[in-house]
Amino acid sequence: MFSHDRTKLDLAEALKTVMRTKAFDKISVSDIISECGISRRTFYYHFQDKQDLLCWYFDYDVCKELGASDIIIDKDGNRKLFVNALLYYMYERREFYANALASTAQNGLRSHLFEYIYRYRRQQILNLLDGRYMDPFGMKFLAEYFTHAIVGIILNWANDGMNYPPDRFDRGYKNVTTICLEKMVDVYAE
């Protein structure tokens, strides 16, 4: 691992440590660098702000664990769709993610999560098209609509402290999304 990657991971670990006792919105860069033992200049060499660090860690953490596939095989050998695997992954780390998603800061994890899931939804729509054409407006509309649906569910769940496992809404969400998205792709496809 390169030195700059190690520094980024050290900063992320410091952020996670501080988040155990403070709400993300109450944490300052000074709190993070104090916990990490690095200079402010080093922090800003790697990240624009604490939201940038949080989003970088989300990408690093999720990609390391889940990869970028539509189908994820969990530690018990069960097949899960990407979004479902993401929900279970966040649930296992609920203290951290509930705190992080409570922040309404601009360029925070909420908007980052939206963009992250949007890319997945867009690819899912392309897969469902199976070579058929959809105008760009229809593609964008469907991807945004179904992304808002799951992100809204995730944010409500996070606001409740992620106190229940995602299987409480997993089945209903999967059925509604799968059925509706398939039908809407057929409507918008040419």
Same domain, 166 and 121: yes
The CA distances from residue 46 to 63, 118, 125, 131, in Å, are 19, 26, 35, 41
Give the bridge partners for 73, in sequence order.
79
Same domain, 76 and 129: yes
pLDDT of residue 160: 93
Is residue 79 included in any domain, yes or no?
yes
Same domain, 82 and 135: yes
Q: What is the per-residue burial (b if ≥16 Cβ within 10 Å, else e) of 55-93?
A: bbbbeebbeeebeeeeebeeeeeeebbbbbbbbbbbbee
Is residue 54 included in any domain, yes or no?
no
CATH code for position 18: 1.10.10
Question: How high does pLDDT run on average in the chain?
Answer: 87
Same domain, 19 and 71: no
Q: At which residue do the structure tokens 């054409």 appear? A: 133
Same domain, 23 and 104: no
pLDDT of residue 158: 94
pLDDT of residue 123: 86
pLDDT of residue 71: 46
pLDDT of residue 120: 85
- Which residues of the chain have a pLDDT value below 50? 70-74, 77-79
Same domain, 82 and 169: yes
Same domain, 66 and 145: yes
Same domain, 71 and 127: yes
pLDDT of residue 81: 66
Mention every residue, 6+ apart, whose C-beta is less than 8 A from residue 133: 189, 190
pLDDT of residue 88: 87
pLDDT of residue 72: 44
pLDDT of residue 82: 73
Same domain, 42 and 75: no
- Decide: 162 and 106 in contact? Cβ < 8 Å: no
Domain span at residue 75?
62-188
Taking the complete model, does pTM exceed 0.75, yes or no?
A: yes
- Structural domains of the chain, count: 2
Same domain, 39 and 72: no
Q: Residue 70 phi/psi, 5° resolution?
A: -70, -35
Same domain, 24 and 112: no
Same domain, 77 and 157: yes
